[in-house]
Amino acid sequence: MSISHRARPEIQAMAGYQPGEQPAPGQRVIKLNTNENPYPAPEVVLAAIREQVAGPALRRYPVPDARPVREAAARAYGLEPDQVVVGNGSDDLLTMLLRTFVAPGAKVVAPAPTYSLYGTLTAIQGGTYREVPWGVGGSLLIRAIADADPALVLITRPNAPFGFACGLDQVSALCRAVDAPVVLDEAYADFADDNGLSLLADHPNLIVTRSFSKGFSLAGLRLGLGFAHPEAAAQLHKVRDSYNVDALAQAAATAALDNLDAYRPNLDAVIGERTRLAAALRERGLGVAESQANFLFARVPDGDGRPWYEALKARGVLIRYFPEPEELADGLRISVGTPEENDALLAALDAVSAG
């Protein structure tokens, strides 16, 4: 007999996180649905991985606290290694943050729309998840978040899935207004005009998370960084899985952080294509939100995105369609691809609208 009824009630009640759809094995698609980077990581990073495979790394445990990566991150971003925690993807850091700061029943608050994993992680932890609409705006938004008495605040900057970056002054004001950790999820910051790392010096309750899946072209390896006050970082280290970052990922991360300049052409190409693709979509009558990330949120003229998503999928172009929640309903999210991939998307859109 199944013992599923013995699962904790909050686990039974939740749906679980729904990641973006994967193409069938062997199916050739233009994959613009999960905000990966369309370009490979620089050769120096790939070489570092190959070197690990050739050596003893796979049969040895990796460095438990990823110290070499933390040192490389500290060098790259002008911080101290004690301010850095490394995760198995930035999702792993989010899990650590929830485990560290959210007791059962405590509140997690996020301006929304935002990354849907936050609600799932809160449910797993037995916490209560509250969203405050971004539309509330300015000091009222900060007041609404503070009044909710959060144990943890989660802000995505640039936002997902719209792509806008809220003011850094707003992040500072929020850090001052709440007596709780404020997590700035900067998964997409490598594509943005600025970021919140410099705020760490003034706000001991600020924690910044970064991903290697977007700007660093390493989604398949799973790597993320967390930056925090050393005392907060020390708490996070206690809840890490024992060897949470594997040896190949540690070698790749160190090489990437020591060679940030090697990523510049790749990042500039994505940012340039973001501008071109947004203009081309607007020319075709779609409404496109301003984006500082590597994706665009768009609405089709008649409002119903589903037939467009389906028709593009039938033509081998995979994008993301949001049936819900209400603020996103019927919207489309398109990852910025290579010029060829973006041209193929535009050609498919033209074919769909020509009927």
Footprint of ligand PMP (CB under 6 A): 89-91, 115, 156, 160, 185, 187, 211, 213, 219, 224
Q: Say if residues 187 and 156 touch (Cβ distance below 8 Å).
A: yes
- Going by C-alpha positions, the residue among 218, 88, 228, 81 that lies closest to residue 152 is 228
Q: Write down the least CB distance from residue 350 to ligand PMP, Å.
A: 29
Toward ligand PMP, which CB reaches closer, 81 or 89? 89
Q: How far apart are CA 90 and CA 203, in angstroms?
A: 21
Q: Write down the least CB distance from residue 37 to ligand PMP, Å.
A: 11
Secondary structure of residue 15 in the 3-state scheme = coil
Toward ligand PMP, which CB reaches closer, 318 or 348? 318
Q: Write down the least CB distance from residue 311 to ligand PMP, Å.
A: 25
Toward ligand PMP, which CB reaches closer, 52 or 156? 156
Peptide bond into 25 cis (omega under 30): no
Toward ligand PMP, which CB reaches closer, 91 or 246? 91
Which residues, in sequence order, are bridge partners of residue 108?
129, 152
Q: Write down the least CB distance from residue 93 to ligand PMP, Å.
A: 8
Helix crossing, 230-239 with 90-101: angle to 10°? 100
Contacts of 144 (CB under 8 A, 6+ apart): 132, 136
Toward ligand PMP, which CB reaches closer, 42 or 224? 224
Q: Which two tokens stand for residue 208?
A: 């910044």
Q: Say which DSSP state 42 is in.
A: P
Q: How far apart are CA 311 and CA 69, in angstroms?
A: 44
Q: Write down the least CB distance from residue 280 to ligand PMP, Å.
A: 24
Q: How far apart are CA 192 and CA 102, in angstroms?
A: 30
Please identify the residue of the shown chain whose CB is closest to the bound ligand PMP. Answer: 89
Q: Write down the least CB distance from residue 9 to ligand PMP, Å.
A: 27
Toward ligand PMP, which CB reaches closer, 185 or 273? 185
Phi, psi of 33 (to 5 degrees): -115, -10
Q: Write down the least CB distance from residue 6 to ligand PMP, Å.
A: 30
Q: Write down the least CB distance from residue 219 to ligand PMP, Å.
A: 6
Q: What is the residue type of 69?
A: V
Q: How far apart are CA 15 and CA 85, in angstroms?
A: 29
Q: How far is CA 33 from CA 87, 131, 316, 338, in A?
A: 23, 24, 12, 14
Q: Write down the least CB distance from residue 264 to ligand PMP, Å.
A: 21
User: What b-and-e string marks burial along 127-159, b requiring 16 or more CB atoms within 10 Å of the CB?
Assistant: bbbbbbebeeeeeebbebbbebebbbbbbbbbb
Toward ligand PMP, which CB reaches closer, 81 or 87? 87
Toward ligand PMP, which CB reaches closer, 183 or 348? 183
Containing 112, the helix (H) or strand (E) segment is strand 107-112
Toward ligand PMP, which CB reaches closer, 192 or 344? 192
Q: How far apart are CA 118 and CA 102, in angstroms?
A: 12
